[in-house]
Amino acid sequence: MTVNKDERWKSRTYVMGLALGAVVGLMSAYLFVRSAEENPETGRPEPIQTGTLITLVLGILGLMRQIAESGKPRRK
């Protein structure tokens, strides 16, 4: 089974998205752990507040929407 050149860009896009997402996720986890370790009392993270979690989710959804829109052709 051969993949034509028109279909290869999809595979490359998925692989790049996977790699970039993994790197960003790993960096985020590292920064979260590092900031939690700076807590002098317990060295553990505080529970994440619901408002903070909602803000993060909305920010991620906004970023995903911008990425999806960038794949559409531009209007003249």
pLDDT tens, residue by residue, 14-72: 999 999 999 999 999 999 898 888 877 877 888 889 999 999 999 999 999 999 998 88
Domain presence at residue 76: no
Residue 30 and residue 27: Cα distance in Å, rounded?
5
pLDDT in the model for residue 47: 86
- Provide, for the chain, the percentages of residues in helix, strand and coil under a 3-state DSSP scheme, each rounded to the nearest 5: 70, 0, 30
Domain presence at residue 19: yes
Q: How many domains does the chain have?
A: 1
Domain presence at residue 75: no
Range of the domain at 46: 5-70
Kindly state the tokens that stand for 20. 């970039």
**Nearest in space to 12 (alpha carbons), one of 24, 3, 22:** 3
**Nearest in space to 30 (alpha carbons), one of 45, 12, 13, 51:** 45
Written as one letter, the residue type at 62 is: G
Domain presence at residue 20: yes
pLDDT in the model for residue 2: 60
Domain presence at residue 61: yes
